[in-house]
């Protein structure tokens, strides 16, 4: 989540979580945080399920968090694309 913030001046707190599902081996990856930026408080939660790897889940959650933060800050970072889902990463 912290990687989703524009540079400079943001105060944040974050709780990340990840676990592989026993039944499928696919990953659940989540990030929940509070961001204070420019005098504004934002509560952001990005939840994912069914990721082939932890790294893929982290990348997906970070992309979602960037898009949400950029919608409020207008810094243009919403154009970041989520990684393609599939095997191998």
Q: pLDDT digit string (tens) for 4-18?
A: 555 666 788 999 999
What's the DSSP call for residue 4?
A: G
pLDDT digits (tens, 9 = 90+) for 30-59: 999 998 887 888 899 999 999 999 999 999
Predicted confidence (pLDDT) at residue 61 exceeds the cutoff of 90:
yes
Checking if the pLDDT of 78 tops 80, the result is no
Which residues neighbour 29 within 8 Å (Cβ) at sequence distance 6 or greater?
16, 17, 18, 48, 51, 54, 57, 58, 60, 61
Domains of the chain by residue range: 2-73
The pLDDT, as a whole number, for residue 4 is 58
């Amino acid at each position: 989540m912290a990687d989703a913030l524009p540079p400079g001046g943001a105060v944040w707190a974050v709780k990340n979580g990840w676990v592989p599902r026993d039944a499928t081996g696919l990953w659940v990856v989540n990030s929940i945080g509070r961001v204070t930026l420019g005098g504004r408080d934002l509560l952001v939660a990005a939840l994912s399920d069914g990721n082939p790897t932890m790294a893929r889940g982290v990348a997906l959650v970070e992309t979602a968090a960037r898009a949400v933060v950029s919608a409020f800050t207008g810094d243009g970072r919403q154009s970041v694309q989520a990684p393609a889902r599939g095997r191998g990463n």
